[in-house]
Amino acid sequence: MSSNGDSPSSANKRREFLRNTALVGGGFLLSGVAGRLGYQGGVAQASGPASWAELKEGEQAPFAQYCKDADKTPNEACPDRAKEERKDQYCTNCMFYNKVKGEGKEELGTCALAMGIQRLVRGPGWCQSWVKKA
Ligand code: SF4
């Protein structure tokens, strides 16, 4: 007998039921979040182009003033990047950037601001959320 008067087996069954309910509930919660993110078996994709590195001219940027090539002038996508104090800022030296592949102008990486969504940004790109890599 347990301290609340239940037999050990009914207490175990209740514990098992609660654990399974929590697991199923957690699974529904996760599937709801994944569904909103467009999770499709392995790689979560938000709506829009699969890679921000492939944004076309004039296409909506994921972050304020994201541009694929920070050095392009004039650059309508990221006019603030033209400021003198920002001339050395690129995705490659931003704290949110992680290199995936490529070199130089062809380098691609992930941006942590994408909150785990697998999308690539261009190394030589930039956006207004740039923060110096430590
Ligand atoms: S937050 Fe940093 S890595 Fe992400 S797009 Fe902006 S500059 Fe690039």
**Which residue's CA is minimally distant from atom 5 of ligand 1?**
127
Taking only Cα atoms into account, the Rg of the chain, rounded to an integer number of angstroms, comes to 23
Distance, CA 37 to ligand 1 centroid (Å)?
20
Question: Mind listing the pLDDT tens digit for each residue in 95-116?
Answer: 999 999 999 999 998 888 866 5
In percent, how much of the chain has pLDDT > 70? 49
Which atom of ligand 1 is nearest to 126's Cα? 7
- In this prediction, residue 64 has a pLDDT band, given cuts at 50, 70 and 90, of confident
What single string gives the DSSP state of each residue in 16-55?
HHHHHHHHHHHHHHHHHHHHHHT-BTTB---SS-S-GGGP
* Residue 29, pLDDT score: 37
Can the peptide bond before residue 79 be classed as cis, meaning omega within 30 degrees of 0?
A: no
- 88 confidence band (pLDDT: 50, 70, 90): very high
Q: What is the mean pLDDT of the chain?
A: 70
